[in-house]
Each structure stands twice: as C-alpha cells, then as structure tokens.
Structure 1
Amino acid sequence: MGQIQIKHQEKLKKLVEEDMLNPLLSSGSAFDTSKTVLWQWLNKNADVVKTLALKDLSIYGNNRFICGWMIVITTSNQTFKFHILLDTYFPYSPIRIAYKTNDFFLKWPHVEPNGLLCLPAENNNGIEEKIYKNLFNAIELIENCQNSEQFREKEFQDEFISYWNHSTGSVQINSLLDISNTTSRLIYIWSDSKFKLVGESIEQIESWLKHEGFDFNLSIVTTGIFGFLHKPPIPPFPQKPINFIKALAKNSNNITELLAKIPFNESALIVLGAKTANSGTGLIAVELSAQSINGFRRKKLYRDRINLLLRKKRGFLNRKNIQRLDAQWVHGRDQNEGLKALQNAKVLVLGCGSLGSQVAMRLAQSGVGNITLIDHDTLVPANVGRHALGVNSVGKFKSTELKREIRKKYPHIQTIKSYCKTWQQVYTEKSDVFNNNSLIISCMGEWTAEGQLSDWQDSLMTPHPIIYGWLDENGTASHAVAIVNQSISLKCIINENGILRNPETIWEKGGLMQTEPACGTSFQPYGPLDVVHAEALITRVAIEFLTNKISSSTHYVYAGSTSKIKDAKGEWSTEHLKYRPIGFEGAFEYEKSLLSKCQICEQCKKI
C-alpha cells in the first residue's frame, strides 16, 4: 500500500509541475492572481492557515486539486477545521471546501467522501466575496446537521438518489415504467450482458428493443416488482435482506406480498419510487440474490410465507442505479403537462423533405406518440445539407429512412408508419390512413399536391384539421397556416395558382429560383438555418393545437431580417409592413389571427 501511495503522490507532483508550466496557471495568470487574493484573505481572517502538501491533495483523487490550504476558524460556538481546495480551472470553477473535523460521509447530507462539502453555487463578484459566502454556507450546513435531525432527514430525502447511488458501483438499469401509477405491481425485466430494461409489459419492452435494433428473446424476460415508498429512504441503508424487507413492510403498500410470490431460488429485482417535497419523484432499485435450492424440491411450488422467510434469512442484497427512459421523463422531466395529450395524438405528416423531415423529428422529440409519414421521393445528395437525414440515407426513400431514424432515436414512440407514395396514391389505396388523425401537417411544398389536399379538406362533412407549412423565396419568411375548421379555406389565403393573396415579400423574376444543369431541377436556395425557423414555427403551432391551445384557424409568420431580404434582391410587401414595427429591421414572429373569407375561391362561392 505504501508503494502505491508513493507512486500516486509522484504522479500528482508531476501533474502539478506540468500545470505550473501551463501559461493559464503561471505567474501573472488569472489563476495566479486570484490564488494570491484568496491566500491573503485567508491569512487575514482565519486563525490558522497552512499550505497543503501533495499527500494531502492526493486523497481527493480524480478531483485533481492542485493547491489548497488547511485553515482553522473559531466562532463564538466552536472551532472548524477546513481544507480550501483549488483545481486547474480556478477562478472560473468554484472554491471547494472540505470539513476535516470528522468523517460524516453518508451521516450528514451534502457531505461527499473525504469531507468535501456540496455547497450552493455562488455568483458573487470577487474572490473575497466568494470565499466568505462559501465559508458562511459551510458553517451553516455543519451547524444545521449538528443541531437538527429534521434538517438531516429532509435534505437526505430531497436528494435520496444521490446517496443511494453513492455507496455502490452497481450495474445500470433502464426503466420504461409509468411512475404516475403508484400502485405496487409486477413488472417485466429484459437483460443481456450490457444492461437491464424494465417495463410495464412484455409488449412495451419488445417494441422498445426492436426500435433500438436489439434482438428480442422472450425466454430471457423475467418478472420483478415496482412499488412506491411512503417516504424516500435515508442513510444508513439496509445492508441485509431481512432489514430491507422489514423496512418495505413499514414504508410501502403490498410490496412484500408481491415479493413473496417470486420463488426464493430466483433473484428478485425491486424498483422503488419515492416523491420528495421539493425535487419531484425519483427511482432506486434493489436486487435480492437467488437462494440455494439445496434441501428443497426443485419443481415444488412453495407457499408465499416460505418464500419470504427464506428471502429474509439467506442471501444478500445489492443496491442498483436506475435510469429513467420513460416518456414522462424524456419529454420534460415530469413537467410537461400536455404530454398525455401528445402521447395519445395521431399526426399524419405529408412531405418528408427538408422541412417535413425536421418537423416530424421535432414532433417525436416533443412526445407525439403516433406519427405516419408519407413521401414518394428518395433522398439526393443536394438535400442532405438541410435535411434531417444524412448521407447514409442517400438513394433511399425519405419516409422509410425517417421512420427508421425516429424509431431509433425515440424508441418509446408508440407507432410510426411510412408510405413511399404520393398522398393521393395512399388515399386512393388506403383511405383509412387519413381518418381519425388528430392533425395533418402538410410540408409538401408543391401546389399541385397541396391544392388538391385543400380541395379534399373543403369537401369533408366534418373538419379535418390541417397545418400547411412552407418557406417564402430564399427562406426570407416562414408560414404555418392552421385550418382547423370549415370557417375558412386555404384558398382564401392562397389563390388558384398557389400564390399568397397577400404576400409578405416582393421579388423580381419570381424570387430568383435557381436551377441545376438538368431538366426540371429548379429549387429555392435556402439553407439549414432558414429551415430551423420554419420547423420551429410549424411544430410549435402543431403542439399548441394538440394541447388545446389553438381552437380557431390562424396564420403564423416568421419574418427574417430586412438585411436578409435586401441581400436576396427582394423587399417587404405593404401587407408585411402592417405588422413590422416602425424602424425595426430584425427578425420577428407575428400572427394573422383575423382571417376572413376571400369571397372569391370556390369554397366561399359554395357557401
């Protein structure tokens, strides 16, 4: 052990010497001048100040503090001994403080190994203010821990996951469990050499694994238990099964009854949820080892009481880390109030090009549970610079590749389908695809297709909400038109030639369309940053509609800067200038909520 410690100190000494040759840490650097200010303040205000030797710094291991001091401070009540520690990022990193009077790791909250204190981040200006406030917080924490059992319990409970995981090098478990359901219940576990996955049903686990590209083998699925604790656990944690099971009986509902049903010769994984007063809900896990079957009949089913008794008397337990991958956590850390509506929503996306692909990806990322993609085109290299897909998808159908990519990125999505055809072909062959959708989003960018879609929408007896999205010439403006009822038609906004009746922009030569050296290859020269604004606008309008924040037809516009449209040889229209603040030349967004019938289109004439 002595040789190992010497080698570690020599390595640390070498690293410190190398750091001191670093111009960021050398004489006159921010590190050097700030360290001097700190040292002077300590000498002025502490009772004792001693520079820490390398062996003192080495105990903190990977924190790699390169210098520090031992100080003693006496208050009216007691004397405190601290280490003041600096790393290579100081003064831009916090000053760390370790309490050196006794070892209170897992006895007091916010105390890490070797006495390092986890203190609130301070944004005070100046080194002197920072060290003063840090020491004040350190002394306040120590006195609260010394004097108040209620304080210790509350602080442990608020961050119970950190303390549970701190004391074990356990294997990662991933959870798909719905923690809004606090009922104690049996759950399902899939595991291989890499990780464990726990879920509510075999079907849920199979879907998630297949989306991620794993082979699913039903024979390796086992059962475990999920339950909620009345109060978050605090140290010292149970070390033996008997103590753990007794704690469960007092602090939960029916978990021990479920545990009794798992044969004692099988390991039992128990996932536990607990709600804190200030920090939301957290998950922890425990695995109880399988018990030897020696002396028992292998095929005999033993009574629940025997199973539980043997669990208490034999074996051992392991605390486990668990990582939440359920939709509630991934899509908003339990704070997304509209998530349930989004998960139940069914959205049909028409057009998976540069705009539609980004919108579909963002919908999945926002938590929409059911998405259908329609696009008949393949990806070409020139699309890649502004598309959600990369070069590995060139030559393949956009809708199929986008489905694969979304499924892999967001494997908890409930359903995602794709059709490599035009929307008219899909409608002719399988019209039910267009029924029972919460919303249709059209990003096709072709009036021949969207004009017919608008005719179809106008012909329906009951409303089928559609959001039409596109970019203006050269990406200077973006549009999201939500036609959610039959009070107005898209034709009231766009004429029979696919041109806005009241355009935002004015162009010479049709907006300076660009062409490739081939027939029928004209395109608008907008880039990925222009698409970002458009997809954010369209997705936001979609999310607001799906969460009942939009109930009437409306038209949102994102307009870029005046300098951008001038560079593209265009100008803002009189219609646009009604909304642009006088003298303002930057980018902004606005809503045209007072949509009115044009009295010109066929839909208006029909009514």
Structure 2
Amino acid sequence: MNALVESTLSSSVERGIAALHAFIGQEAAASLLRPASRKQGEAASFWLPLPPDYTGVERRLRIAFPDQFPITSLQIHVEPSPWLKWPHSMKSGLCLHGFREKPITGTPETVVHDSLLRLGAIIDFVRVDSDPILRDAEFRKEFTSYWSMQLDSSPQDILLLERPKTASELFATSDPRPARRSRTAWLAPSVSSLRTYFRRIVGRNAKIQSPVVAGFYVKLLTYPDVQFPAPEHLLDWLTPHLSENDCKKFLSWFSGKGSLANRLVILELPGSERAPMYCLDVRSYSKQPDHGRWYGFRSARRWSGKNQPSHSPVLVRGAILNILDRNDILSRDLSGTAANLEKTRVVMVGAGSLGSTVALQLARSGVGEIVLIDPDILESANLGRHVLGVDDLARPKANALAERLTQDLPTVKIFPYMDFVESLLLKKQAIFQSADLVIVTTADWSSEVALWFNKAEGAQWGLLQAWSEPHSFVGHGLLAPRGAFDGRYLFDDTGNFRLKHTEWPDGGGVVPLPACGQTFIPGGISGMANVASMVTQVALRFLTGDINNQVWTTTIYRPQDVANHEGRYFGPALADGAQHTVLEREWPTVEDGRSMTVIAWSWSWPGIAHSLYVSQAVADVLDQYRQRSWRTERGGQLFVDLANPNGLIMSLATPPHASDRAGWAWLELDAERCQNEVESANAQGLRLVGYWHTHPQTIPTISPTDIASFSRFAARYAQELPHPIAVIVGLSPQPNGIKAWLFRNGACREAYLGS
C-alpha cells in the first residue's frame, strides 16, 4: 500500500485507502490495484480491473478520493461506460444512491465501506451469471429517468386534466393565462373536461368548440428497449408493445395528424392501472418556430396535398407531464386516509383565519365536497393570518376561498355561501342534511347556538366547534358525533367557555372593532396554525370512523409565554421539556348539566399535604377590584367547598360592601354583612376560610397592620376558622400579583403558586 500513497496525503485519505485495501483484500489490492493519473480536485485515484460482464465486455473501475474526503464522497466511474447496459449507470458515472438519498457521512472507513457495498449490489446485476429478469426489473424502477436522460426537454409542459381509461385521442387547448400561453397545454379525452377546467381557472365559460386533437394516450403492455431510438424509428420501437386494437387507433391518429408540427404521445408504463406516465413531444418538419405551441379553441387550418409536411418525426423530446387525477394528487399520503374521504361532505361555518386554514387542509387531505359559509368580506387586517391574499381584498371570503381551492385542487367540489348559518339552517336545510360533519370556527355565539340547537334535536351530522383563546397559546375543539348532543352547558350565556385555560385583563383579550358588535381574537399565524392542525386531525379521524364519541381536544403552546402578554395561564402543566402538546379527553361532566367549577390556579404551603384550588369565579372577583388611582382598600370574605370531589376549592369571594369602612391603607369589613354572608354560604354547603383585601402595591406584601387586622377577623370566628387564610390583591396582573398567607400556630406562612 505504501507505494501507492503519497506522503502529502491527508490522514483521512490515507485511512480511506487503507479501508479500500482491507475491503478487496491485501493480496488482491497488491496485484490488481494500480494508481491512476489524478484529476483536478483528487487527492488519489486507482484503477481496478473487473471481470467481463453479461455483455462480454471487460471494464475497469476508476476509484478516486477527493481532496475533501470524506466530506466529499468517494468517486467511482466505470470504463468503458456501461451507460444503458448497467442499472444505475449514468453518463457521468455510477449512481450509488437512490432517489433523493444523500451519500453517507462518517469516518473514512465508513464512507469507503458503504460506497463499495453499494457498488457490489450493482455489479451483482451485471455479472456473466446474473439473472436478466432481475436486471430488467432494476432498470424498470427508473425507466422514465433513463428516457429523460437521452432526450432533450420540450419547451412545452403538459397538464393532463384526467387519467384516460382506454387508448384515446386527446383534445388540446393552451392555458389562457398570459404567462403560460405558449408554455402549458391542457390535454383531455373530452371537450367537456377542457370547458370545465377553463371555468375553474378563469371563472367564466368558454366556447371551446373544436379544439385540435394534438395528443394520444396509450397503455404499454410490455416495456420497450431502455435505449431510445432515432426519431425515424420511433414507431418501430413503440408499436410492438401495444395491444393490436390500441396500435390501430394510435397509428390512425399519428398518420392523420401529420399537419401538426408537434404531436404529444402519452405513454403509461406496463403494470397497475395507475402506473407512471411519460409524455413524448414528437416534432415533424415544419416552417413554424420550434417553441411552445399555442392551441386555440378551434382546430387550425390543415395543410393538404403536396404542401402537407412529412409524417415522419424529425425530433423527439420529453415533455414535463402533470396529471390532475385525484389519486396522483394524493399519492404521497400512504396512510390510506384519502381513499376513505372521496365521498365525504364537510360544511365549514366560518372562512376566517382558522376556518380557511382548516378548509385548505381538509381539501388537500382528500375530502370530496366542502361547503363554505361566511357572510364577511376579506379586509387588509385579515391578510396576516388568512390563506387568501391581496388580490382577494374586498371580496366575500367564502367566494374567494372557494375559487382558490378550486384552482389549486380541481378534484374537490367547493360550494360557497355568503350568508349567516342561522339563515341557511332555515332556508336551505339540504346543505346540512347531506353533510357528514359541520365545523364551526366563527367564535360567534349566535351561530354556535343555532348549530347546537339542531344537534340537540338529533341532527345526524357530526359537529365540531373550534376556537382559539386570545393570542393563540391555547385552542380548543369540541366534537359531537352523529345524533343528539348539546354542548351549550360548557359555555356561559355569552358564549365564554367555562373551562378556558387563560385569563386576560381588560375584556378578556377580545379586541373590539369600530363597528356594532364586531370584535376579533388576537393571535399570530403560527399559533393559529397549531389550532388548525388539531382541528383538521380531529375532523379527519371522525370522517374515517376513528372517533365515534364526544371528544374535547386542546392544543397548548408554551404556556409560560402567556404572562409576557399580561395574561395568566391556569391550564394543565406541560411535561418537562415539552413546548407544545395536544390533549384529548371526553367532554367534562357537569352536575345537573348547569354548574361547573373552573380552576384558575392553586396555592400550596410547605409541610401541608393538600393544595387550595382557586376557582375562576374567585379569580374574576379579585381581578375586578384591584386598587387603582388612590382609591380606598376594598375586600370581602372567602369560602371553600369542602364537598367538591376534585379537592379543596375556594369557590366564593364576596365583593366589597357599601357598609365597609376603609381608607387608602386600611379596611374594616362590616360585621353584619360578614355574618349574613357566612349564613348564606353555609346554606350552600360552603365554609368560611378567610378574607381578602387590596393593596396599592404592584406585588403585595403583608404588613404588621394586615396581620393585626386578620387576627381580629380570625378571633371573631375562632370556632369556625382555626387556621384563617389572608389574600392580598396587588396591582400586577402577573401570577404573583395576588398572594395568600396562612395563619397557623402563631405564624404567618406565605403560599407558593401552583398551576
């Protein structure tokens, strides 16, 4: 080996050469491996002779180590070139890696070993004793790639509007849009398909009467030779691989269209019904310029007699072919989901930021029909998180979104309605009767109530209500399956979710607009995308039969950031290290279907096993009466529900009372009102636990005056209140803006905040 290694080689190249010797054997390396003249960028290169292959040709390998080895992979070439004789052989060398595979990285030994193993797999196909069936099968895995490498590219790209079922002529018209007029040709086995697609793209009907029959589709029964013939031998190369009937049809079309400068032949490879297709652009002699053709709505005037050009091809090129077939469009989803969605119908109530994204995802997932209901128009303020763009401003959201989806995914049927769902439920009930699922994303309580009313009456469509909490850190979805279900008990009378996970100052995070009753829920596109993805997944699982029960799903993203927006998070804690989670649970159960305790946060004390949970109702009272602008202190009493099966819950905070005596830094609660409140609370099964009052501090602290005041309060209820709790409300909306202390064994102990 030393004789082959120059002293200037890097250690990586030396290790690679040593690995090469070890792989082929030291004796074989000494007798067979010979140095080769280095090319630019090579650190070392070698010749290695090969035994004759199945063609009888003796070839040799040229193995080169690049200067940047092993960052740059080993270079392997075969001479003479086995192009179109060996599978995976290109004009430029051997392709050791499959489609979109990247060369392996690692140590020099790893790179050499992997490259030579891949080389050995190729050589196994071409040995003298190799199986020709296996070799041909390996060629066929990338058959059209070999054709493309032999043919020049056509200036025309082809859009096949549907996959033909039998050998057939194809009508052609050019894409009418200026940027595509001479570049893209639409082909279809029927004129009606061209008309339908024109209407989808342009938005109006076209009088396509007698378009030119510029193409032909045919299915191959067997594979032609991988080596493409000269243009004049195209028919001899192709026709033996067609059925007798298809061959007659094809030759009749081919000879009858000799006046066309370009004829487009679409070949479907042998095998399954949806095998790969390849398009040949066959050019005959013509005085017309050799560029993309323009195909109008009427056939061009035909030449005849001596002026008719030769039918014989003078040039064959490969044309980019795309197929508007449902199975082709959805072929990358191997889960099988799309196959079950073709006949499903979804009604989307709301085509706003959330609804438009969900509609787009459902369309791309394979849902067959989508109804869009939204009375609003698109405004500039919508663009930051809507799927529509500037060109759709001032247009109805439902109509613009329907047009966008139809253009992007012509296999989906879209029906837009610029109307309120409450109205459509009365006027056009058939819209809903044929639906599998109704998704409402309006965050509008009147439309949500109308849908829940119909569900409660036994509507056979599923209902998925979805919304984002302010700033999109949290989003929810409530799914009701087919049949009678009513989720209204989960909301208060104004549509606020009773189990919300965030709390926001000044109106709950909903921003009013300068219009009667108009608001929006703030949030960015990334957070909205999290909510939309969750909603789409739930919808797809329901449509495919994976969910058949009531489900409540919640997406939570970085809840620790809620405080940065002056909010408070009191939902479930995420696991250590988790930034995003999606929870799925059954609907909450509620006593009598009316009441529910929502937890805002909890307090705990060292050495005490049980936590004290603070209900959202209590949190709302404390937040409402913060002491601002030199106002006097205010306060009230606190009560716990000892019978709640979910733990010790502070469920009632009484508000300030006109009979209380107070100053800027002191407060005395009226004794009579306190006694009345205790009696009323006891009658509801609640027990006194302490009292609360405000401080003008940002972060409250307990003072000696506070301790003395709480001690007098506790003495008044010594029998009922052996360990009173003092809560002080500061000015900060952050979690530490409200604090609690426990008086026990003569000591005042501060609580720490839980989730």
Q: Same fold (TM over 0.5)?
A: yes
1:122-201 superposed matches below 5 A: 122-147=103-128, 148=130, 149-171=132-154, 172-176=156-160, 183-191=166-174, 193-201=182-190
Following superposition, the deviation at residue 534 of structure 1 comes to: 0.7
Q: Secondary structure at the match of 2:342?
A: helix
Structure 2 CA distance for partners of 1:143 and 1:324, relative to 1, 3 Å: same
The question of 1:592 aligning with 2:592 is answered no
**SS of 1:550 mapped into structure 2:** coil
Task: Say whether 1:475 aligns with 2:472.
Answer: yes
Which amino acid in structure 2 is aligned with residue 169 of structure 1? D
Letter in 1 for 2:415: K
Aligned to 2:82: 104
Q: Give the Cα separation in 1 of the matches to 2:428 and 2:104.
A: 61
Aligned partner of 2:338 in structure 1 is: 339
Seen in structure 2, the aligned counterparts of structure 1 residues 391 and 429 have a Cα distance that, compared at 3 Å, is same
| Residues 1:234 and 1:146: Cα distance change in structure 2 (over 3 Å) | farther
Q: Which amino acid aligns with 2:521?
A: Q
Question: For 1:279-298, what aligned pairs fall within 5 Å after superposition?
Answer: 281-286=275-280
**Aligned counterparts of 2:415 and 2:112: Cα–Cα separation in 1:** 58
Counterpart code for 1:457: K
Preserved CA contact (<8 Å) 2:224 2:238: no
**Is residue 173–residue 198 contact of structure 1 (8 Å, CA) maintained in 2?**
no
**Which residue in 2 is equivalent to 1:49?**
35
User: 1:13 aligns to what?
Assistant: none
2:448 aligned counterpart, secondary structure: helix
SS for the counterpart of 1:480 is strand
Q: 2 CA distance for matches of 1:202 and 1:339?
A: 28
- 1:270 equivalenced with 2:252 (yes/no): no
Structure 2's unaligned 5+ residue stretches are 1-8, 53-57, 175-180, 287-301, 595-755
The alignment partner of 1:107 has SS state of coil
C-alpha displacement at 1:190, in angstroms?
3.2
Residue 69 to residue 328, structure 1, CA distance change in 2 (3 Å): farther
Residue 210 (structure 1) shift: 4.0
Aligned equivalents of 1:154, 1:565: Cα separation in 2: 58
User: Whole-Å Cα distance in 1 between the matches of residues 542 and 582 of structure 2?
Assistant: 18
Q: Is the 8 A contact 1:175 1:197 kept in 2?
A: yes
Q: Is the CA contact 1:469–1:481 (under 8 Å) kept in the aligned structure 2?
A: yes
Greater Rg, structure 1 or structure 2? Answer: 2
TM-score (norm 1): 0.75
Give, in whole Å, the separation in 2 of the partners of 1:87 and 1:251: 51
Give the drift of 1:87.
9.6
Q: Shift in Å at residue 530 of structure 1?
A: 0.9
Structure 1 CA distance for aligned equivalents of residues 549 and 321 of structure 2: 41
Gaps of 5+ in 1: 1-30, 55-65, 300-309, 602-607
Deviations 1:430-459 (A, max 9, x none): 444434223222111111221122223333
Match of 2:538 in 1: 541
Deviates more, 1:503-512 or 1:482-491: 503-512
Matched residue count: 539
Q: Is the 8 A contact 1:482 1:553 kept in 2?
A: yes
Instruction: Tell me which residue corresponds to 1:560.
Output: 557
Q: 1:437 to 1:155 in 2, by over 3 A?
A: same
The question of whether the paired residues in 2 share the 8 Å contact of 1:85 and 1:96 is answered with yes
TM-aligned CA distance change 1:98 to 1:585, over 3 Å: closer
Question: Is the Cα contact below 8 Å between 1:51 and 1:68 reproduced in 2?
Answer: no
Alpha carbon RMSD of aligned pairs, Å? Answer: 4.1
One-letter code of the match for 1:115? G
| Maintained 8 Å contact 1:157/1:234 | no
- 8 A contact 1:97–1:116 mirrored in 2: yes
Mean Cα deviation higher: 331-340 or 540-549 = 331-340
Deviates more, 1:33-42 or 1:209-218: 33-42
Secondary structure class of the residue paired with 1:548: coil
- Report Cα offsets for 1:366-394 as digits up to 9, x if no partner: 23333222222223333222221234433
- For residues 10-21 of structure 1, the aligned pairs below 5 Å read none
2:416 maps to 1:418: yes
Deviation at residue 178 of structure 1 after TM alignment: 5.6
Residue 76 of structure 1 deviates from its aligned partner by: 8.8
The separation in 2 between residues aligned to 1:501 and 1:572, in whole angstroms, is 14
The 1:91/1:373 distance shift into structure 2, 3 A limit, reads farther
Letter paired with 1:591: E
Higher helix share: 1
Matches within 5 A, 1:251-262: 252=243, 254-262=245-253
Structure 2 contact 445–495 (Cα < 8 Å) conserved:
yes
Do the aligned residues in 1 keep the contact of 2:373 with 2:421 (CA within 8 Å)?
yes
Question: Which one has the bigger strand percentage?
Answer: 2
- Give, in whole Å, the separation in 2 of the partners of 1:285 and 1:385: 41
The answer to whether the 8 A contact 1:554-1:595 is kept is: no
Q: Which has the higher contact order (CA 8 A, sep 6+)?
A: 1
The Cα offsets for residues 479-532 of structure 1, whole Å up to 9 and x where unpaired, read as 122222224212243343312244444556553444568875654331111101
Q: Distance in 2 between matches of 1:262 and 1:298?
A: 19
- In structure 2, C-alpha distance between the alignment counterparts of 1:200 and 1:495, rounded to whole Å: 58
Q: Indicate the percent of aligned positions where both proteins have the same amino acid.
A: 22
* Aligned residue number for residue 604 of structure 1: none
**Alpha carbons of structure 1 residues 196 and 390: separation in structure 2 relative to 1, 3 Å:** closer
Counterpart in 2 of 1:3?
Answer: none
Contact kept? 1:105, 1:113, Cα under 8 Å: yes
